[in-house]
Amino acid sequence: MGIIKTIQRSRSDFLKPKQKSYRDLDLKVKLMKIGSITEKKNPSVTEERALLFELSGNESIEEVIVLDNANPRFGKVTVFQMKEILNDMGFNIDPWLSGKHKADFEAVMNINGYSIPGWVKIARVVARFFPSHEKALLLKLSPGRDRLHLSAFENTDGSWIITAHTDYNWLNLNLVRVLKSHIGHGAGDFITGTLMACDLFDSFSEHIKENKILTSGEINKILVGGYNKSLVKKFHINSSKNLAIL
């Protein structure tokens, strides 16, 4: 069961990067326009899978995140390493209410406050006795209002293609918005999700080099920063559209 697996994985959340499978990786993180894939004459097998759903044109996605290991001496980023990285970043990599959408796996993080009043206080009290479960209580398994949703595709060249969006959490009490967010296509916010996820990967890459744990407090600050960036980007996009109409 996903919840049990997530709790089990969280027991190692307090171990530093030097004790993890990804300790020798030099993560290279970049944003790439989807045209680099959608306009390819001969896409890879992995890119073909992404084109079936995430990059089919039904989703309002403009960019994807590409992850690679800049240190070829230690090979490509494996599935095990990628899952451990996402777990330590605060993601639940065993979501039970999420479709795979042709991806190798999906990951979700609960964001933007909580549907249950006083949840933070409850989580903090429990974390005093079980400190390694703090990320699970505040991010991975929390009753968040929204969620950050990733789809991970392992490419044939050893890199990873990541699509990201935010949407309403299934635990959100506004059921009408939840249903609209998950039924059909194009309901997720890919601009906000992509910027949030990219900033998280950038920060985590630095934490690996410095052998530091990315804390839940740092994660929340990064999410807020990504959200603010998305507001600026949306403003510029809308301004350009309005000028084009004039």
Q: What is the pLDDT of residues 21-79, one digit of tens each?
A: 999 999 999 999 999 999 999 999 999 999 998 898 888 899 999 999 998 888 899 99
Under DSSP, the state recorded for 81 is: H
Considering only CA atoms, which of 196, 186, 165, 157 is closest in space to residue 36? 157
State yes or no: pLDDT of 110 exceeds 90: yes
Query: Could you read off the pLDDT of 205-238 as tens digits, one per residue?
Result: 999 999 999 999 999 999 999 999 999 999 998 8
Q: What does the alpha-carbon distance between residue 246 and residue 243 come to, in Å, rounded to a whole number?
A: 5
**pLDDT reading at 159 higher than 70:** yes
Q: How far apart are CA 207 and CA 185, in angstroms?
A: 35
Where b means 16+ CB within 10 Å and e means fewer, 100-118 reads ebbbbbbbbbbbbebbeee
The Cα-based distances of 28 to 34, 76, 77, 245 in angstroms read 18, 11, 11, 39
| pLDDT (0 to 100) of residue 184 | 54
- What does the pLDDT read at residue 26? 95
In this prediction, residue 100 carries a pLDDT of 60
Q: Is the pLDDT of residue 178 over 70?
A: no
**193's tokens:** 């999700």
Share of the chain above pLDDT 70, in %: 90
Q: In what order do the strands lie in the sheet with 105-114?
A: 27-33, 63-69, 160-168, 144-154, 105-114
Measured torsion, CA atoms of residues 227, 181, 110, 28, in degrees rounded to the nearest 10: -60
What are the E-state strand segments in the chain? 27-33, 63-69, 105-114, 144-154, 160-168
CA angle 160, 192, 60 (to 5 degrees): 75
What is the value of pTM for the model shown?
Answer: 0.90
DSSP structure string for 40-51: -SS--HHHHHHH
